[in-house]
C-alpha cells in the first residue's frame, strides 16, 4: 500500500460525458501528479500540482482539467469523453517537486476508465 488513494477504481461511461477522478496523496506529500496509461502504452504525464499550484504540464488535452485543493487532494476532470480516453489514470505523490532527493513517486492503484 503506497498510501495514495484513488477513487473510483473503475468507471464506465459513454462518449460525450464528463467524469471526475479523485486522488488523496500520502500524508505530508505536497506534490501530486496525474498520468494516463492507455493499453500497451507508457505512462503519459498529464499535469503536476505542488501545494495547490500547477507546476508542470504535459500532454494534457484541453478537455481535461485538474486542481489541487487546500487539503492537498486532487481531482482530474475529463469532459466530452471520447473512446480514445479509455485508459488507466494514475495519481502519484511525492514530498516535494518530482520526489525530492530520490525522485521516488508513490503511485495509487489507478482509476480504470472505460468509454463506450
Binding region for another protein (CB under 8 A): 2, 33, 35, 41-45, 48, 50, 55-56, 58, 88, 90, 97-99, 102-110
Angstrom distances, CA of residue 33 to CA of 42, 83, 92, 94, 115:
15, 23, 5, 9, 22
- Is residue 64 a contact partner of residue 79, using CB atoms and an 8 Å limit? yes
Our CB check for another protein shows the closer of 61 and 98 to be 98
Phi (first) and psi of residue 102, to 5 degrees: -105, -15
Our CB check for another protein shows the closer of 79 and 98 to be 98
| Residue that is written with C-alpha cell 492537498 in the block | 72
Closest distance of CB 63 from another protein, Å:
21
Closest distance of CB 82 from another protein, Å:
22
Our CB check for another protein shows the closer of 64 and 106 to be 106
Our CB check for another protein shows the closer of 3 and 16 to be 3
Q: Assign residue 17 a region: left if phi > 0, alpha if psi is -120 to 50, beta otherwise? A: beta
Closest distance of CB 46 from another protein, Å:
10
The three three-digit cell numbers of residue 82, written as one number = 471520447
Closest distance of CB 54 from another protein, Å:
10
Amino acid at each position: 500500500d503506497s498510501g495514495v488513494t484513488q477513487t473510483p477504481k473503475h468507471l464506465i461511461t459513454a462518449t460525450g460525458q464528463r467524469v471526475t477522478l479523485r486522488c488523496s496523496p500520502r500524508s505530508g506529500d505536497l506534490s501530486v501528479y496525474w498520468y494516463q496509461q492507455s493499453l500497451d502504452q507508457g505512462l503519459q504525464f498529464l499535469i503536476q500540482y505542488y501545494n495547490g499550484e500547477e507546476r508542470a504540464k504535459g500532454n494534457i488535452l484541453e478537455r481535461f482539467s485538474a486542481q489541487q485543493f487546500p487539503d492537498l487532494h486532487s481531482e482530474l476532470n475529463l469532459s466530452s469523453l471520447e473512446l480514445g480516453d479509455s485508459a488507466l489514470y494514475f495519481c502519484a505523490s511525492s514530498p516535494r517537486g518530482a520526489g525530492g532527493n530520490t525522485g521516488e513517486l508513490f503511485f495509487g492503484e489507478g482509476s480504470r476508465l472505460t468509454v463506450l
